[in-house]
Amino acid sequence: MFFKLALKNIKRSFKDYAIYFFTLVLGVAIFYVFNAIESQTAMLNINKSMHAIVDMMTTTLSGVSFFVAIVLGFLILYASRFLIKRRNKEFGLYMTLGMSKRKISGVLLIETFIIGLVSLAVGLLVGVVISQFTSVLVANLFEADLTNFTFVFSASACIKTMICFALIYLVVMIFNTVNISRQKLINLLSSARQSEKIKVKNPWLCTVIFLIAVAMLAWAYYAVTAGVEEVLMEDVNMVYLILVTGAVATFLLFWSLSGLLLRIFMSWKQVYYRKLNSFTLRQFSSKINTTVLSMTMICLMLFVTICVFSSAMSIRNSINETARQSMPADVEFTEAYRVNNEDDSMTVTINQQGMAQELGVKDFYRSEGVDIDSLFSDYVEYTTYVIPSWSLRDSLGEAIDDIEAQFPMIYYDQSETLIRQSDYNALARIYGNPEVDLAKDEYAVLANYENMVTMRNRGLATKPTIKVFGQTLKPKYDKCLIGKYEFTATSNDNSGLIIIPDEFKITGENYYITRAIAKYKPGQDSREVDRILEDTWNRGLDGEKAKEVKFWVETRQSVIDDGIGLGAMVTFIGLYLGMIFLISSAAVLALKELSESSDNRQKFTMLRKIGASEKMLNRALFWQIAIFFGFPLLIAIIHSVFGIIFCGFILNTFGNMNLIQPIFLTALLIVVIYGGYFLITYFCSKNIIREHRV
């Protein structure tokens, strides 16, 4: 019997449940889709280096899933509490009819169970269908060809989804039961209709608060954009202060704007007393008044969504673009080793100037039957030295105390990396960096990671003299040279390379890294050359000569592949979080709006009685909901403009950020999800206020 009652309740209140159900299905589907990516990548035709990054991605995604599950849990809890509150009168009625609280909880339990079961089933079904399309997206992001496309069903993702949502529903059930058992009958019965009290805010107070909010926002905006150097570089912890200021300012903005906007429109009588405008504006203002906190939360969530998603997309784009530009050669051979000049037993021969031995790359390949000279057009070998007795602290000179006070998190005792002038100049010609001509006692610094360049320039301005290995060096320039020198997918990641004269003697125990970079001769199939070099090297590692191969190979393509994988990972995480945040905020708004539908119905019936036309009513309803949805979005978009600029600044290591496409995609995501929720809410509300003739 109670089962029947529960089932009937669901059927009856389907209108109220529709958006809740829709949200649950969406949540389940998204959760499944992103957890199923693992099994989709398994069937992709991708190489080994890509597999490593795919593993990393799936691990990260499941970590993110945990966070997502918590967000969804809160959303579902909130939504169900909302629905329960609306039915207080119904529960009151059950109690007056003599039903015990335990039995009411039972009915509720069955309801939650049925809805949970159905939404889980439908959501999984939808998820499986969607994940067939995401296979294409996955293949596209990994730039792999989708030759062997098959239907994929991820059992592990399915089980994970089921366990996760079962837990969430369990928590919901417990909360509902506790909630019901605490209620008093009188409160349940009288909670239905209490006359709304309009809190009239003092317009002067509103104006003052509004101005304070604007001032706080202006400062926060300034601090993350134009003033980023002076405010944020002064103290990195300022970022927290800026975020808190922004959040508080948003709250104050919502608090004051609701009253202020109404005042402004009220004094604009021609507009205010036109059709149902006074009604619409009053409705909106009273709703904002009671939901300042949730509006703030939603606005901030939208803000985070926009920033995370568009930054993720632009990181991916710039990784893929700059990866191709930032490596001027096709292959890099590297050997790292330790050298002790005082020790006779060292394995490495050092020539007169303390230069390192040859890598033996050519010899190795020749002995394996590969003629390197016929493949390579340029071949440059160079050695960098990692010197523990010369630290970043030394390079920053007298500026170190100031800098360290502001950036306490940086490890200043890290060893500097050195390169001899002749090696550097040969390398510079390939990388397109400025060449240098140093005197015997001079050094120069090459960097291009913007934050480090700024820091090093402050140090160089104090002209730090370095005393090391019994020699003295002074800086040739008071600024860093700009450029990079390593094989990496990103373009602005060089935090510092120190160029020293060829005569400079290095003694004691140090780490050496000897590298060779080469370009392939024109007309070669670069993929084929990559394969020859990698396969030969692998063979050398496994074979008898294993001990002779001390270097490793990295082709330009494999670095690009890593970049692609990283890009794909960032995209997925951005997409995942973005969707969940969007759904959460849109669902909260939709539920709030729909929960007032019965009140609304009364109001609209009254308006109809005094002669408002259907067109007017629909328009009033549309604008009422549109403003409710649009207001937090508008503020979030304004926040995001500055947020994205700031993200661009932080992430400039990834190189030139092209923002047009990411912003377009973000807008698309918002229009589809947020806009979708808006339309559903509008049509549901319209249906509720529709005239019901007896």
416 has which bridge partners? Answer: 387
Question: Are 464 and 298 spatial neighbours (Cβ–Cβ below 8 Å)?
Answer: no
* Beta strands in 245-375, from DSSP E residues, in sequence order: 331-340
Cβ closest to another protein, residue 1 vs residue 610: 610
Cβ closest to another protein, residue 178 vs residue 198: 198
* Distance of closest approach, residue 606 Cβ to another protein, in angstroms: 4
Pairing of strands 471-475, 466-468: antiparallel
CA distances from 10 to 77, 191, 200 (A): 17, 21, 39
Burial (CB < 10 A; 0-12, 13-18, 19+), residue 157, is: buried
Question: Are 359 and 383 spatial neighbours (Cβ–Cβ below 8 Å)?
Answer: no
Closest CA to 124 of 29, 253, 206, 22: 29
* Distance of closest approach, residue 280 Cβ to another protein, in angstroms: 10
Tokens of 294: 């949730």
Termini Cα distance of the chain: 31
Cβ closest to another protein, residue 473 vs residue 621: 621
* Distance of closest approach, residue 618 Cβ to another protein, in angstroms: 12
State the SS3 of 197-214: CCCCCCHHHHHHHHHHHH
* Distance of closest approach, residue 610 Cβ to another protein, in angstroms: 5
Helix, strand, or coil (residue 370): coil
Cβ closest to another protein, residue 154 vs residue 600: 600
CA distances from 480 to 136, 201, 205, 476 (A): 45, 57, 52, 10
Cβ closest to another protein, residue 235 vs residue 614: 614
Cβ closest to another protein, residue 275 vs residue 479: 275
Tokens of 460: 């160089």
- The C-alpha angle 605, 609, 614, rounded to 5 degrees, equals 70
* Distance of closest approach, residue 279 Cβ to another protein, in angstroms: 6
Task: Count Cβ neighbours within 10 Å for each residue of 208-217 and write b for 16 or more, e otherwise.
Answer: ebbeebeebb
Residue 232: DSSP 8-state: I
Question: Are 112 and 169 spatial neighbours (Cβ–Cβ below 8 Å)?
Answer: yes
For binding to another protein (CB under 8 A), which residues are involved? 195-198, 200, 269-270, 272-279, 282-283, 285-286, 603, 606-616, 693-694
Cβ closest to another protein, residue 89 vs residue 393: 89
- The tally of CA atoms less than 13 A away on the side-chain side of residue 165 is 29
Residue 53, C-beta contacts closer than 8 angstroms, at least 6 positions apart: 561, 562, 565, 566, 568, 569
Cβ closest to another protein, residue 89 vs residue 282: 282
Helix, strand, or coil (residue 417): strand
How many Cβ atoms are within 10 Å of 351's Cβ, its own excluded? 8
Residue 437 identity (one-letter amino acid): D
Residues 537, 361: Cα–Cα separation, whole Å: 10
Phi, psi of 338 (to 5 degrees): -110, 140
Cβ closest to another protein, residue 550 vs residue 608: 608
Cα-only R_g, the chain? 33
How many Cβ atoms are within 10 Å of 438's Cβ, its own excluded? 19
Tokens of 587: 């669902």
* Distance of closest approach, residue 183 Cβ to another protein, in angstroms: 25
Phi, psi of 503 (to 5 degrees): -75, -15
* Distance of closest approach, residue 588 Cβ to another protein, in angstroms: 21
Q: At how many degrees (to 10) do helices 292-325 and 277-290 cross?
A: 80
Burial (CB < 10 A; 0-12, 13-18, 19+), residue 415, is: middle
* Distance of closest approach, residue 282 Cβ to another protein, in angstroms: 4
Cβ closest to another protein, residue 272 vs residue 477: 272
* Distance of closest approach, residue 604 Cβ to another protein, in angstroms: 10
* Distance of closest approach, residue 197 Cβ to another protein, in angstroms: 5
* Distance of closest approach, residue 72 Cβ to another protein, in angstroms: 34
Residues 260, 256: Cα–Cα separation, whole Å: 6
User: Would you put residue 615 in left (φ > 0), alpha (ψ -120 to 50) or beta?
Assistant: alpha
Cβ closest to another protein, residue 184 vs residue 274: 274
* Distance of closest approach, residue 603 Cβ to another protein, in angstroms: 6
* Distance of closest approach, residue 260 Cβ to another protein, in angstroms: 17
* Distance of closest approach, residue 288 Cβ to another protein, in angstroms: 12
Cβ closest to another protein, residue 103 vs residue 619: 619
Residue 64 Cα to chain centre, angstroms: 11
Cβ closest to another protein, residue 284 vs residue 642: 284
* Distance of closest approach, residue 628 Cβ to another protein, in angstroms: 14
Cβ closest to another protein, residue 277 vs residue 457: 277
Cβ closest to another protein, residue 482 vs residue 607: 607
Cβ closest to another protein, residue 277 vs residue 462: 277
* Distance of closest approach, residue 277 Cβ to another protein, in angstroms: 7
